[in-house]
Amino acid sequence: MNRADFPIFKGQPDLVYLDSANTTLKPRTVIDAVRRYYEDYSANVGRATYDLAERATAQYESTRNLVADFIGANPDEIIFTHSASYAINFAVFGLKKFLHAGDVILLTEYEHNSNIIAWQKVAAETGAEIVYLPSSRAQRGNLDRLLRSARNGKKIKTFSYSLISNITGELFDHRELSAWIRARGGLVLVDATQAVGRMSVDVNELNCDFLVFSSHKIYGPSGVGVLCARSNAQTKLEPIIYGSQTFTSILPQTTELSHDYSRFEPGTPNIEGVIGLGAAIEYVNSVIATHDQDLTQYAIEKLEQNDLKKYLIGEPQVGILSLNHPTIHPHDFAMLLNQKNIAVRAGKACGDILMQKLGLNRGVVRISFGIYTTKTDIDKFIAEYQNAIGRLT
């Protein structure tokens, strides 16, 4: 499905690419959009009145509108950054004045390292405390008990979680918990990096204040991230980087910052990357939304048929599965799979806290799907995974 749209397969028709949770391949429409910018209207945005610059600005801002429509937000709530990690840092450190000693920062054990380290740093600087929701479904079941435990008489000021785990592929519904926290003055950040290219995402349905994702995981160029900061939350957010295009007036001793999203976008942005993201969103909007879910179910069935499901971690739902063999190192699997032109992720996959909780110190073999992934790709992976077990045991 859709493989013909991706030029990389023209040169490598036998490639089995199962690392889309790491980064996605790029369709021709995205490559062409970036190329056209360089060839036809390569100019800066928002600071000139000649035709090239006006066209570049129009294309750049059209992506802001596309992103907003894509996630159910308003265009003035969309802030472009350099990556999802940058977007998280913009939100975390921008909220530093919102956090105080004794406040609770609520995370989950499923978080990507980028959604942990920044919170650890700001907690150390403010005296706030980090509390983790556990990885066990049984432990997560009693919401009231979890809230009492997490609060411990203190106020939960922020809750930050991944919509889809980048390790297990599980989809998390924390809308009830988010509503509880927001009703008491807390703020909620959703890391939708693994979700936006795999399912419909709407900030209103998620009941969140911030949402982040990256371009390169939704078939767009690298070097672009999105921070959606809802209007009510933007008033609590302080810029952490300053520069041109962020102010309404500047004097020798003082500067009046803009009152809209532009105060968070200093300097010349990654123009071609943002334009490419716009093309990527248009492309994703044109494909079947259930592709990853269908392939996930197929992969689970095939693993079970081949007596490999016992190595599966968690309960995958959307496009990501991880396997742990008790005696074979993940990197050994990855090396042998690479010899068959099968690309997978091996190791801790930026999920160190979850790996520690699960006792998986060597990590996992992770496979993840894109809209170019086929059932044949999964069949080849399973066959070669089995062959690797035979060679390595």
- The amino acid sitting at 36 is R
Cβ(164)–Cβ(194) under 8 Å? yes
Residue 228 known to be catalytic: no
Identify whether the C-beta of residue 163 lies closer than 8 Å to the C-beta of residue 141: no
CA dist 331 → 210, 319, 334, 344, 362 (Å): 36, 21, 5, 10, 9
Angstrom CA distances, 110 to 124, 126, 317, 341, 351, stand at 21, 24, 15, 30, 7
Coil, strand, or helix at residue 77? helix
Sequence-distant (6+) residues with CB within 8 A of 87 are: 79, 81, 212, 213, 214, 225, 226, 227
Q: Which two tokens stand for residue 263?
A: 């105060």
Structure tokens at 107: 């995370």
For the four alpha carbons of 197, 225, 64 and 221, in that order, the dihedral sign comes to negative
Question: What DSSP designation does 97 have?
Answer: G
Would strands 225-229 and 78-81 be described as parallel, antiparallel, or unpaired?
A: antiparallel
Amino acid at 370: G
Q: Strands 255-257 and 16-17: what pairing?
A: unpaired
- CA distance linking residue 34 with residue 23, whole number of Å: 18
DSSP string over 303-326 = HHHTT-GGGB-S---SSEEEE--S
**Active-site residue among 350, 360, 364, 371?**
350
Torsion angle in degrees (nearest 10) through CA of 187, 209, 89, 263: -120
> Which pair of structure tokens corresponds to residue 29?
């429409």
What does the alpha-carbon distance between residue 243 and residue 4 come to, in Å, rounded to a whole number? Answer: 43
Active site residues: 350
